Amino acid sequence: MKKWGFYLFLLLFLDLASFSIEPISVEKADGGPIDMISTCASSIKITKDNIYKGNLLLVNKDYPIPEKSVRSDIVDLRNLHEWGSGYGWLHADIRLSERVAQNFAQMVHAAEKEGVNHFMINSGYRDFKEQNKLYQEMGPDYALPPGYSEHNLGLSLDVGSSQMKMEKAPEGKWLRKNAWKYGFILRYPEDKTAITGIQYEPWHIRYVGLPHSAIMHEKNVTLEEYLTDLKEKRNITANVNGKKYAISYYPVSKTLTIKTPGHCHYEISGNNMDGVIVTTFP
């Protein structure tokens, strides 16, 4: 459950301009977390609609999402078959972005090889109607209005253990150490409540994708802090698993064209505020 505390946004100076993360060995079905990747052309056209789509959207009391921000690949986990195993469900009708569910399945299968195998999904995607019903029933101390919850995106899920509370469970400890390898972050850490505005939730994970999850894990920063630093620096680089990423922030007030290096791949995500983040890599 969520309860709004006093929201104090701390602007921290983060030295993220360039850093490396040592290569790691991660079990993956296809060589990496599954996501939408495009091959670079000589230029990319960006419109204002791009601000409200992608894996890095900030959702909080100041930045609600419009319904157009919801992932288009929302599926019922019961229908995934290949990807819907290796964990339990609290109830039968849990939904999630299909690509996020695939990455989650890869992650729990890796955990299972280390003897950590009691994951339970308690909540996934909620549409705006469901969120409003929850808000009306629970009240503002324990629920958020439609559009203000990360569960309205399709990128977040509440994960528990069928054995014990998540903060003490092996599943919780494993996620805190390893979730970033699969593109996930612990969205509401214990020591960041003043920044996120949300009390500690050891069960709530959010998909942001690599290399962003690696950077946030390495520097121990929240999504709020990460996006703020990107806006300040505009351009950073990161080496993750032997691959070099270039990450750039662009303010968007009208349609613009961004030049890209040749022979690369790219991903675009809005920040749900005022611009987009373009990530390019070989």
Which token pair is 249? 């922030």
Instruction: Tell me which of 171, 201, 224, 267 is the catalytic residue.
Output: 201
3-state secondary structure of 256: strand
Catalytic residue check, 224: no
Helix (H) or strand (E) holding 123: strand 119-123
Q: In angstroms, rounded to a whole number, what is the distance separating the alpha carbons of residues 45 and 36?
A: 17
Considering only CA atoms, which of 207, 180, 176 is closest in space to residue 189? 176
Closest CA to 247 of 259, 264, 235: 235
Active site residues: 201
